[in-house]
Chain A
Amino acid sequence: QTVVTQESSLTVSPGGTVTLTCASSTGAVSAVYYANWFQLKPGQAPRSLIYNVTNKHSWTPARFSGSLLGGKAALTLSGVRPEDEADYYCLVRYGGPWVFGGGTKVTVL
């Protein structure tokens, strides 16, 4: 069974930078995995941030960016704000099915 692994938790100071990663048990993540990133806050529906590894939606704040880093998909938050405290999930495609990572809890402290 395919497993997608993310850091369980990360802490960042306001104004700082943090990078979340998304690794696949099948090997290096590449563009064909169509990696997406989502932000989830308690009591809310997920919010789409990044699609196809690097692309932002019109509503995605400029401080969020996606990339490939060392065989993993990555989400970097630069100039972090208190409102960025949330859970972040990557989603990758394996042919037909998709698989979510376990999520990363980002604490702004």
Chain B
Amino acid sequence: QVQLVQSATEVKRPGASVRISCEASGYIFVTYYIHCVRQAPGQGLEWMGVIGPDGSRPIYAQKFQGRLAMTTATSTTTVYTGTVYMDLSSLRPDDTATYFCVRERHGGVFDFWGQGTLVSVSS
């Protein structure tokens, strides 16, 4: 079955960087886009960026350009797994949020979500 499994909670100091992983399985990895979405405490969902199925052409929300980098790593043994990495740098306290990855089939079909990764930024 389709699964997106994210990495564990992170606690960071302001100015640091964080890497969140999203391990996908149960489908042909290179046939779907992966998006990064976050929800700060008490706030709504915020779209951050998307990476193409082959790892090319990431697109970021203007707000995160220069601070967000999304990359992919495909398995060498099976087409049914792969990992997306979301690197966010120069962290600030207002980056404290739960970060999600979500899968999109080309043409705007969003379906499966990761379980979320809490990132806490505090001095």
Contacts and interface: CB of A to CB of B under 8 A. Distances in A.
Main secondary structure on chain B at its contact with chain A? strand
A51 B60 CA distance: 21
Contact of B47 (A35, A40, A98): A98
A97 B104 CA distance: 13
B47 A103 contact: no
Chain B residues touching A, range: 20 to 34
A38 interface: yes
Given A45-B116, A98-B35, 17 more contacts: A34-B107, A35-B108, A40-B45, A45-B114, A46-B100, A46-B113, A48-B111, A48-B112, A51-B111, A55-B109, A57-B111, A91-B47, A93-B108, A97-B62, A100-B44, A101-B44, A102-B44
Interface residues of A, number: 26
Interface in A52-109: 52, 55, 57, 87, 89, 91, 93, 96-103
